[in-house]
Amino acid sequence: NVGVILFLVILTLVCGRIYCSVICPLGVFQDILAWLGRQPKKRRKLPYSYSPALSWLRYGVLGVFIIALIAGIGSLAALLAPYSAYGRIANNLFQPIWQWGNNLLAYLAERADSYAFYETDVWLKSLPTFIIAAATLAVLVVLAGRNGRTYCNTICPVGTVLGFLSRYSLFRITIDSEKCNQCSLCSRNCKAACINFKEHQIDASRCVVCMNCIEKCKHGAISYKYHPFGKPAAGKADSEQINETRRSFFTATALVAATSVLKAQEKKVDGGLAAIEDKKIPKRSTPLTPPGSLSARNMAQHCTACQLCVSACPNQVLRPSADLRKLMQPEMSYERGYCRPECTKCSEVCPAGAIRPITKADKSSVQIGHAVWVKKNCIPLTDGVQCGNCARHCPTGAIQMVPSIPEDKDSPKIPVINVERCIGCGACENLCPARLFSAIYVEGHERHRII
């Protein structure tokens, strides 16, 4: 959103890195980790100290991030983006804990003859994404617990860009050398490690404007002052010459792709509950992307893998991809549910424009794919029984049942698909009782169509 970006740029040029301090969810989360990391007996100690800026690392990571965006390598950009990192942690690590708590309340409420709560499925959406989320959390715990905002000032590409702008902000925190007695209280309370109290300098590019130093200074030597626009903040970082050769860097990513673990479940089949085996995911020539994403290419280019859509999907259709080309970006799969025509949750929460807002009326006319019948899996032909589950549940009436032998009206009926009416919602694939593979599945379209 250009408006949001302009707002953040103006906010930073006026006030400094306010976004990093109180708006960015990952930044606030790091503050919580830092507070928890100090054990009760040690919380009175002041854990921070000044450290020189690692400019080569900051700009190196930013370079990788920009190259990944330009090259359309969304999975690499998602590894570095702070919003995506927090989304992964919240969706893969925190949401299951909340769901287990909900299920415990549902269990206890049921014993008390109350149905105020109901159980929800807790399942592993993607093993690679879970591992990456756990690794990200571990890194944040170590960095935030020991050094405060180290991640923000060395790894985060957004922090690097805003840090560059904040050097020219109108209001900055400064030290009055005449009042300062070099007690170091400011430096020891600075979670950005950007205060060099010996030289009375603050690195504005790393300062997140938390105001802790102003609060702790007992001599009134630190203040938040107006500075003429265009004059960069003085600081040791300005005097350090950045060696161009040191800006070159080596990156290596080794990610092990593993198949998603699916839990056996019970599904509705012709009005009764039947315990059935896990379905295997069909091999689709073109991946399915949610209505509103326009195309697989648009999704790959704009998605930051924050996984808000995965978390918001009430039908368990969206899950993080294990494909290295679009790692952690959402993909659709119909083993646990199907994309109901009246649901637009994913388009309502996407912050990056990868899934555009769409109305319920518009969604019913968007074709994201089309159903394909697999004759060898269809149980009327394999078992000689009547079925028609796909036709009964198709919301658009795109499937009709006809005799398998045209001359014999009593022969088992098989589905015939009207591709022009099919929107690719996956109801047929999800509710097909055939195992291990459905007798009907949805093939994605590279570009969505309006029907």
Instruction: Give pLDDT < 50 ranges for the chain.
Output: 234-276
How far apart are alpha carbons 165 and 2 in whole angstroms?
17
**C-alpha pair distances (Å), 365 with each of 65, 190, 371:** 37, 55, 15
What is the pLDDT, as a whole number, of residue 40? 60
Return the structure tokens found at 188: 């020891």
Return the structure tokens found at 383: 């078992």
For the beta carbon of residue 122, count every other beta carbon within 10 angstroms: 14
At 147, phi and psi to the nearest 5?
-130, 15
| Single-letter code of the amino acid located at 411 | S
Domains, the chain: 1-226 (no CATH), 296-450 (3.30.70.20)
How far apart are alpha carbons 86 and 88 in whole angstroms?
5
What is the pLDDT, as a whole number, of residue 273? 36
What is the pLDDT, as a whole number, of residue 345? 94
Nearest of 284, 279, 247, 281 to residue 265 by alpha carbon: 279
Contact 451, 423 (CB under 8 A): yes
What is the pLDDT, as a whole number, of residue 41? 56
What is the pLDDT, as a whole number, of residue 231? 59
- Could you tell me which residues come within 8 angstroms of residue 381 by beta carbon, excluding any fewer than 6 positions away? 375, 404, 412, 414
Helix (H, G, I), strand (E, B) or coil at 227: coil
438-450 confidence digits (pLDDT tens): 999 999 999 999 9
Nearest of 132, 121, 89, 102 to residue 316 by alpha carbon: 121
Contact 277, 434 (CB under 8 A): no
For the beta carbon of residue 257, count every other beta carbon within 10 angstroms: 12
358-401 confidence digits (pLDDT tens): 999 999 999 999 999 999 999 999 998 889 999 999 999 999 99
Contact 290, 347 (CB under 8 A): yes
H helices, E strands: number in the chain: 20, 12
Return the structure tokens found at 68: 């990944």
**For residues 49-85, b (16+ Cβ closer than 10 Å) or e, as one string?**
ebbebbbbbbbbbbbbbeebbeeebbbbbbbbbbbbb
Nearest of 443, 295, 262, 304 to residue 366 by alpha carbon: 295
- What's the chain's Rg over C-alpha atoms? 27
